[in-house]
Amino acid sequence: METIPLILSILFGTAVASYIVGKLNYLLKVGTSIVGLLWAGWLFLGLQGTQSLYSFKVLGFDIIWRMNPLSWLFGMIIFGLAILAAIFSGSYMKGKERVDFYCFAMCMTVASMFGIVVSGDLLSFFFFWEIMTWSSFLMVIYYRFEAQAAGLRYFVMSMIGAYAMLTALLIVYAQLGTFSFDALSAGWSGFSLALQIWLFVLFVIGFAVKAAMMPLHTWAPDAYTLSPSPFTALFSGALSKMGIYGLALLFFVFGAGKLASNVVTIQGISLPGYILAWFGAITALLGTFKAIVQDDAKKLLAYSSIGQLGYIILGFSLSTSMGVTAGLFQAVNHAIFKGMLFLAVGAVFYRTGTRKLSEMGGLITRMPYTFFVVLLGIITVAGMPPLSGFTGKWLIYEALIEKHLIFLAVVAFGASTAAFLYLYRLIFTIFLGQRPKRFDDIKEVPWMMRAPMLVLALLTIYLGFYPYHLLDLINQAQVSMGIAPFDLSHSMLFNSYGNVDTMTVMNIVAVVFFIVFILFNTLYKRSRKVGLKDIHTSGEVPGEEINLHYAVDFYQPFARGVSFFLKRSVSKIYASLADNLEGFFDVMRYIYTGNGQTYALFVIVALAFLFLVKDLLV
């Protein structure tokens, strides 16, 4: 049996099997999911470097499944996060209700995502896309009544994207008589300019919804917040990348990148690409502003995820070798650091039972492994050496400067700088400062939950020192899309404005850290550990009930400074539009009553009107 259909069969079969055996035993349902994902992942690894193709017909339509370097790169994200999230779930979901349903929906989501990246035609692509939407919707509403509003919002926004994509799909078939990616790529330049722009807009809407690009992001904060934490890691880290993968197809496989030769260009970038770049930059900036003022840890990470996806969109929209490299590198990077942070926050919730930052503090001594993971995660998000985030952010800034988009570079850098605020808030309010008394006896999470977080954390270190291992895979993907590979040599990254040696940067950071550590432990031998209450308080001794940990209303001066942006809510615009539509449909109910006599009256009135004006119509 061909490898691609075998992997799909295993994944869909695992979803069904985990649901059936889940009625018998908890270990069986979780174990079935993990074993099935590991088996499919092992077969997937064997496809690396291959150009597999499998095709067949369904109702006269050609269905094409294929594997190329771009598909393999995104498949690596899917399987990597899925397996780690499934292992994490082994402990996290123990004792919770409907775990068989959870395992079924998660495995269905993984199967559909893999189906998307191996599709070589629009029909199977859309089929798997819809399975992904439905299965992830089931995970959003896992907690039922609490998540109903979030689930409805996700479903409505997904439906908008799906209808836009379906419209584009039907237009392509009407023009070409086939759904094949290869035929679309060959025939794109033959479309009229107006049709190219329409197809571009429709596909962008479809993909941007899943990528949570503003203003189509409104589903993401609540959906990420209310879905189970192991799935949220997969949701933010992998499922959102399906939108990014779609944009990569649109620009470099479907042929939308050829718009550059037909429409106005700005500094060598097509007008549609330039507009999309601004959407990406605005998403990065406003997502960061919204994250800063959140008191819910998962909602903070949700807005952070939206903002970081903006960087990826920004890189792709440039359509340059360095821009695409930056986008793909940051896509993998985003999957790693968002996966580890959502798992870490899930671990904290698992022990404390709360997501509110203002209710926590001082957990560093109780959950040191989780603290270490969050520390590495926020360093990576901030784009600081010596971790992989530095390479990703450096590539994005250099790609923007290369195209002389200085203002966009300033906006992107400003968003990255502002991200320090919410990153500091996340680690300070959870792990530092005064610990509430009710958390004195909590323990670190089980190793089944620690291991997946630590694997992702170690990956940020490894890719910080050796980014060329990932960049080599990205170069292969770019060549498969017809894009020139990025110039690199081991730890050296080259461009026209200067080079960076990541190994040198990391070594400098390591040496500085080592020197500071030695000086601190030799020059300050008289330092001692003090309790949280062992401080100068103007002669007063604070009691245990006095909270000295500042965690409420963080950054209010900053929030007031950016209130102009925070008060502008796209959700309010959508709600107003929905209210107006509801009023319009209420009026239409007087016409479409469902009463046959009323319809007969309409027919009589229409005929009478035509009889009166018949002379005018001749």
Higher pLDDT residue, 374 or 577? Answer: 374
| pLDDT tens profile 191-247 | 888 888 889 899 999 999 999 888 888 888 889 999 999 999 999 999 999 999 999
User: Is residue 153 domain-shared with residue 278, that is, in the same domain?
Assistant: no
Report if residue 555 sits inside a domain: no
Last residue of a domain, one of 196, 229, 263: 263
Q: Are residues 177 and 293 in the same domain?
A: no
d(CA 348, CA 342) in angstroms, rounded, equals 10
Tell me what the mean pLDDT of segment 325-346 comes to: 93
Which range has the worst mean pLDDT, 245-259, 387-401, 523-537? 523-537
pLDDT band at 541 (very low <50, low <70, confident <90, very high): low
- What pLDDT is recorded for position 261? 52
Is there a contact between 386 and 460 (Cβ–Cβ < 8 Å)? Answer: no
617: pLDDT confidence band, cut at 50, 70 and 90?
Answer: low
**Tokens matching residue 330:** 């940051």
Same structural domain for residues 211 and 226?
A: yes
Question: Is residue 39 domain-resident?
Answer: yes
Same domain membership, residue 488 and residue 585 = no
Out of 4-13, 245-254, 290-299, 559-568, pick the least confident: 559-568
Instruction: Tell me what the pLDDT averaged over the chain comes to.
Output: 84
Q: Which helix (H) or strand (E) holds 61?
A: strand 61-66
Q: Per-residue pLDDT for 13 more than 80?
A: yes
Average pLDDT over residues 493-506: 65
Comparison of pLDDT for 371 and 186, the residue scoring more: 371
Co-location of 294 and 361 in the same domain: yes
- Residue 546 inside a domain? The answer is no
459, two tokens: 């990956």
Please say whether the dihedral angle defined by the alpha carbons of residues 66, 68, 73 and 79, taken in this order, is positive or negative: positive
**Top-confidence range, 205-219, 503-517, 523-537:** 205-219
146 plus 75 within the same structural domain: yes
Task: Give the pLDDT band (50/70/90) at residue 44.
Answer: very high
Per residue in 455-470, pLDDT tens? 999 999 988 888 888 8
Residue 568: pLDDT over 70: no
Spatial neighbors of 63 by CB under 8 A, at least 6 apart, are 55, 56, 57, 121, 123, 124
**Is residue 483 domain-shared with residue 600, that is, in the same domain?**
no
Assess if residue 479 is contained within a domain: yes
429, pLDDT greater than 80: yes
For the chain, the domain total comes to: 3
Assigned domain for 465 exists: yes
Same domain for 290 and 249? no
Residue-wise pLDDT for 578-592, tens only, equals 777 777 777 777 777
Stretch 550-572: mean pLDDT, rounded?
65
The pLDDT of 522-550, averaged and rounded, is 60
pLDDT at 20 over 90: no
* Within-domain flag for 31: yes
Domain boundary among 231, 263, 295: 263
308 and 182 in a single domain? The answer is no
Q: Are residues 162 and 47 in the same domain?
A: yes
Distance CA 546, CA 72 (A): 55
pLDDT on residue 515: 85
Angle of helix 297-317 versus helix 388-402 axis, rounded to 10: 40
80-84, 500-504, 565-569, 604-608: lowest mean pLDDT where? Answer: 565-569
**pLDDT number for residue 557:** 66
Q: Supply the pLDDT for residue 532.
A: 56
Strands across the sheet containing 500-501: 488-489, 492-493, 500-501
pLDDT tens for 470-488 read 888 998 898 888 888 877 6
Last residue of a domain, one of 223, 243, 263: 263
Let me know if residue 553 belongs to a domain: no
Same domain, 118 and 153: yes
User: 459 and 338: one domain?
Assistant: yes
Rounded to an integer, the average pLDDT of 243-254 is 89
Characterize 75-106 residue by residue with b for buried, 16 or more Cβ atoms within 10 angstroms of its Cβ, and e for exposed.
bbbbbbbbbbbbbbbbbbbeeeeebbbbbbbb
At 386-401, the pLDDT tens digits run 888 888 888 888 888 8
Give 445's pLDDT tier (boundaries 50, 70, 90): very high
Please give the angle made by the CA atoms of 429, 432 and 434, to the nearest 5 degrees.
90
Q: Which domain holds residue 286?
A: 268-524
Give the global pTM.
0.87
Kindly tell me if the per-residue pLDDT of 292 is higher than 90. no
The answer to whether residues 302 and 311 touch, using CB atoms and an 8 Å cutoff, is no
543 inside domain? no
